[in-house]
């Protein structure tokens, strides 16, 4: 058996996926039409690529209700609303998709029954990456247009985090939880000036988390590069959580975030690849306009992809799960990004087999 590759080797839109039970019922005809969503036929090369992926690797996209994925994910034309309600089952039958990011939970807490409706649509091996509600992860109460209105008294509240997020997810998703992600929205300057207090508040909340199913993890994603300090990694390690590698234009490139993973090594990987660096911190809408209908790679990012593939291979070889979700705004088409990342992983797996590392395999 070859030793595990080392993580320390030198470097060479979130759709409105409303659960089926949370909107008014439609006419029988509309239901029949929505239920007709079928997966696009998979070519043999894609099936072979899927079969070559490590079992501990779960790749997928950020949401799923995109009509432009016709031929990539869906067979036939479907409206966004139909895909939102009835597309998850077809999505989960795509050979490359073993996870999805439930981003809707960030905007409004979901109930256990809503989570259970999602879980019932996917196979046993499928895992969900779920974003915690902004109710507890945003330090600011915001207006409908995103403007900050006042400080959020519920920010990082342990009781609310459990009652409005963790417990319903546990009850509804059960063993299909992959990662529960607390994505902290960009922080006001007042909080960034009081980082020890912030870290203590975050640690108190994370320490209160109940046990998760085997293989699942709690992760924290940030939107402020100032937080990427040893103290942050240390508190995550103390409470058994991990850092969510957030590939976003508001954050440094992937290489600059690797010290956080090294400080937590060995352990699971949670990565959300959201927005290409070229668009800048506030370029989400610009990327959406350039990339729609999300059916081709417009801005390939092979550098980030190769580094991410290296981290994935090291993580799964060390015996830990990797959960990776990709947004359409990362390169132009999330399904094609997943496929290209899988090809990069496959290339790394071949290199690992032919060039063993001198570093001993970390113990789990």
Predicted pLDDT at 35: 52
Range of the domain at 182: 37-351
Predicted pLDDT at 13: 40
Examine residue 78 and state whether it is found in any structural domain, yes or no. yes
* pLDDT tens column, 117-164: 999 999 999 999 999 999 999 999 987 777 777 999 999 999 999 999
The rounded percent of the chain whose pLDDT value lies above 90 is: 81
Task: Give the mean model confidence (pLDDT) for residues 256-273.
Answer: 97
Per-residue pLDDT band at 352 (split at 50, 70, 90): low
- The total domain count for the chain is 1
Computed over every residue of the chain, the mean pLDDT equals 89
Predicted pLDDT at 355: 44
Task: Give the mean model confidence (pLDDT) for residues 65-85.
Answer: 96
Q: Tell me how far CA of residue 172 lies from CA of 117, 119, 341, in angstroms.
A: 8, 7, 30
Examine residue 177 and state whether it is found in any structural domain, yes or no. yes
Alpha-carbon torsion, ordered 319, 325, 330, 336, to 10 deg? 90
How many angstroms from the chain centroid is the CA of residue 63? 10
CATH number at residue 275: 3.20.20.410
What are the CB-based long-range contacts (under 8 Å, 24+) for 93-96? Answer: 93/39, 94/39, 94/40, 94/42, 94/335, 95/42, 95/46, 95/47, 95/49, 95/50, 96/46, 96/49, 96/50, 96/53, 96/59, 96/60, 96/335, 96/338, 96/339, 96/342
Predicted pLDDT at 27: 52
Q: How far apart are CA 127 and CA 53, in angstroms?
A: 15
pLDDT of residue 178 exceeding 70, the answer is yes
Predicted pLDDT at 36: 83
Give the sign of the dihedral formed by CA 108, CA 160, CA 187, CA 184: negative
Examine residue 201 and state whether it is found in any structural domain, yes or no. yes
Q: Tell me how far CA of residue 230 lies from CA of 170, 233, 339, 351, in angstroms.
A: 30, 5, 34, 32
Q: Tell me how far CA of residue 120 lies from CA of 67, 86, 113, 115, in angstroms.
A: 23, 12, 10, 9
Query: How many residues in total does the chain contain?
Result: 364
Q: Look up tokens 């570093």; give the residue.
A: 359
Examine residue 11 and state whether it is found in any structural domain, yes or no. no
* pLDDT tens column, 182-235: 999 999 999 999 999 999 999 999 999 999 999 999 999 999 999 999 999 999
**pTM of this prediction exceeds 0.85:** yes
pLDDT of residue 296 exceeding 90, the answer is yes
Per-residue pLDDT band at 75 (split at 50, 70, 90): very high
Tokens of 312: 């994935």
Predicted pLDDT at 166: 98
Predicted pLDDT at 40: 97
Beta strand 57-62 with 269-273: parallel, antiparallel or unpaired? unpaired
Examine residue 59 and state whether it is found in any structural domain, yes or no. yes
Q: Tell me how far CA of residue 142 lies from CA of 19, 74, 139, 225, in angstroms.
A: 24, 36, 9, 22
Examine residue 324 and state whether it is found in any structural domain, yes or no. yes
Q: Tell me how far CA of residue 61 lies from CA of 85, 94, 352, in angstroms.
A: 16, 11, 26
Per-residue pLDDT band at 280 (split at 50, 70, 90): confident
pLDDT of residue 96 exceeding 90, the answer is yes
Examine residue 171 and state whether it is found in any structural domain, yes or no. yes
Examine residue 85 and state whether it is found in any structural domain, yes or no. yes
Q: What angle do CA 262, 265, 267 make, to 5 degrees?
A: 135
Q: Are 233 and 260 in contact (CB under 8 A)?
A: yes
Looking from the CA of 99 toward its CB, the CA atoms found within 13 Å total 31
Q: Which of 211, 197, 202 minimizes the C-alpha distance to 166?
A: 211
């Amino acid at each position: 058996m070859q030793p595990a590759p080392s993580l320390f080797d030198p470097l060479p839109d979130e759709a409105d996926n409303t659960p089926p039970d949370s909107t008014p019922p439609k006419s029988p005809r509309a239901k029949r039409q929505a239920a007709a969503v079928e997966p696009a036929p998979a070519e043999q090369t894609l099936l072979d690529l899927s079969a070559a992926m490590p079992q501990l690797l779960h790749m997928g996209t950020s949401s799923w209700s995109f009509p432009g994925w016709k031929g990539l994910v869906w067979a036939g034309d479907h409206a966004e609303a139909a895909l939102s309600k009835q597309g998850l089952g077809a999505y989960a039958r795509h050979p490359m998709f073993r996870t999805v990011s439930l981003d809707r939970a960030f905007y409004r807490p979901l109930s256990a029954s809503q989570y259970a409706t999602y879980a019932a649509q996917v196979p046993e091996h499928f895992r969900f990456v779920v974003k915690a509600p902004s109710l507890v992860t945003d330090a600011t109460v915001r207006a409908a247009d995103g403007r900050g209105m006042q400080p959020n008294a519920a920010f990082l509240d342990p009781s609310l985090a459990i009652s409005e997020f963790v417990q319903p997810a546990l009850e509804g998703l059960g063993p299909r939880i992959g990662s529960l992600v607390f994505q902290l929205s960009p922080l006001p300057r007042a909080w960034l000036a009081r980082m020890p207090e912030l870290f203590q508040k975050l640690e108190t909340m994370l320490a209160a988390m109940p046990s998760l199913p085997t293989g699942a993890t709690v992760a924290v994603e940030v939107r402020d590069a100032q937080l990427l300090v040893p103290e942050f990694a240390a508190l995550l390690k103390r409470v058994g959580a991990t850092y969510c590698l957030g590939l976003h234009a508001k954050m440094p490139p992937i290489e600059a975030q690797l010290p956080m993973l090294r400080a937590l090594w060995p352990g699971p990987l949670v990565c959300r690849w959201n927005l290409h660096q070229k668009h800048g911190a506030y370029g989400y809408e610009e990327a959406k306009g350039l990339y729609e209908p999300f059916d081709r790679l417009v801005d390939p990012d092979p550098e980030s992809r190769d580094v991410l593939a290296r981290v994935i291979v090291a993580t799964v070889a060390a015996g830990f799960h990797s959960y990776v979700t990709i947004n359409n705004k990362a390169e132009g088409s999330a399904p094609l990004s997943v496929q290209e990342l899988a090809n990069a992983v496959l290339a790394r797996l071949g290199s690992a087999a032919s060039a063993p590392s001198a570093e001993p395999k970390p113990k789990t």
